[in-house]
């Protein structure tokens, strides 16, 4: 645990939480199966060595370029371009994923309490804009940042960009995510961390990064925020 982790006190004084930034896949949307299926399809398209589901799912949360480097290291730019093109073809042709239960209600509670909301995701801008439109959540978020606009998680740039755009300090910010990449990004940015076990990384892995809390699902957020003075009880 870092000094920043020890000193983060949600809901206290002038440093009270003002901004909640969410990861997308595995945190707000139940999309693991769709992503894994698309990655397997690309691997088959390109006649690559098949990989286990666990290996493939572990890259969820990274930007696509970083995911490729992890799954198929040492490839050149031409290969990357081909992989991305195949992935996007499969992704946009596949059935859409669904929001986790209680997501819309949780976001609405946050908005009603005057909290700013953001997204920091490994999705591309095109991909995020598509799912925001499909779910009707575009207007819920004050700022969003994608992996094709900044370095991929766990680099803190996406989170820094959202905080700078909304004029919020790291100590006034909580990052909510389902992967170690989200937790590491928040640590690197100096923000608070809330983990959810609805995605690809286990509670054990998430707790290595000393989150403020490790919740089972995003719908548990309002009760935790109320208990910690972030929103009224």
Residue 136 burial by Cβ neighbours in a 10 Å radius (0-12, 13-18, 19+):
exposed
The tokens for 93 are 């042709």
Q: Is 39 helix (H, G, I), strand (E, B) or coil?
A: helix
Contact indicator for 102, 217 with CB cutoff of 8 Å: yes
- pLDDT tens digits, 93-137: 887 789 999 999 999 999 999 999 999 999 989 889 999 999 999
Structural element, H or E, at residue 138: none
Res 91: pLDDT: 84
Res 13: pLDDT: 62
Contact indicator for 141, 135 with CB cutoff of 8 Å: no
Q: For each of the chain's 233 residues, which pLDDT tens digit applies?
A: 444 454 556 655 667 899 999 999 999 999 888 999 999 999 999 999 999 999 999 998 888 889 999 999 999 999 999 999 999 899 888 877 899 999 999 999 999 999 999 999 999 898 899 999 999 999 999 999 999 999 999 999 999 999 999 999 999 999 999 999 999 999 999 999 999 999 999 999 999 999 999 999 999 999 999 999 999 87
Contact indicator for 120, 21 with CB cutoff of 8 Å: yes
Which domains are present in the chain? Answer: 3-31+98-227 (3.40.50.1000), 32-93 (1.10.150.240)
Res 231: pLDDT: 92
Res 207: pLDDT: 96
Number of other residues whose CB lies within 10 A of the CB of residue 35: 26
Report how far residue 43's alpha carbon sits from residue 90's, in angstroms, rounded to the nearest whole number: 11
The tokens for 194 are 């809330």
The tokens for 16 are 């009270």
Contact indicator for 174, 10 with CB cutoff of 8 Å: yes
Report how far residue 120's alpha carbon sits from residue 39's, in angstroms, rounded to the nearest whole number: 21
Report how far residue 7's alpha carbon sits from residue 53's, in angstroms, rounded to the nearest whole number: 38
Q: Is 197 helix (H, G, I), strand (E, B) or coil?
A: coil
Res 12: pLDDT: 57
């Amino acid at each position: 645990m870092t000094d920043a982790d020890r000193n983060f006190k949600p809901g206290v004084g002038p440093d009270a939480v003002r901004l909640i930034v969410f990861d997308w896949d595995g945190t707000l949307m139940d999309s693991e199966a769709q992503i894994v299926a698309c990655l397997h399809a690309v691997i088959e398209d390109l006649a690559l060595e098949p990989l286990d589901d666990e290996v493939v799912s572990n890259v969820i949360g990274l930007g696509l370029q970083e995911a490729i480097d992890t799954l198929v290291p040492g490839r050149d730019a031409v290969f990357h371009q081909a992989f991305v093109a195949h992935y996007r073809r499969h992704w946009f042709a596949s059935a859409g994923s669904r929001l986790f239960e209680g997501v819309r209600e949780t976001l609405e509670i946050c908005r009603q309490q005057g909290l700013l909301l953001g997204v920091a995701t490994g999705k591309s801008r095109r991909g995020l804009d598509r799912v925001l439109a499909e779910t009707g959540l575009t207007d819920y978020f004050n700022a969003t940042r994608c992996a094709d606009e900044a370095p991929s998680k766990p680099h803190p740039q996406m989170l820094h960009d959202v905080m700078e755009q909304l004029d919020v300090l790291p100590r006034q910010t909580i990052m909510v995510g389902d992967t170690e990449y989200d937790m590491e990004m928040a640590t690197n940015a100096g923000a608070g961390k809330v983990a959810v076990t609805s995605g690809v990384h286990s509670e054990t892995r998430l707790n290595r990064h000393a989150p403020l809390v490790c919740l089972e699902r995003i719908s548990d957020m309002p009760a935790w925020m109320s208990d910690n003075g972030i929103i009224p009880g």
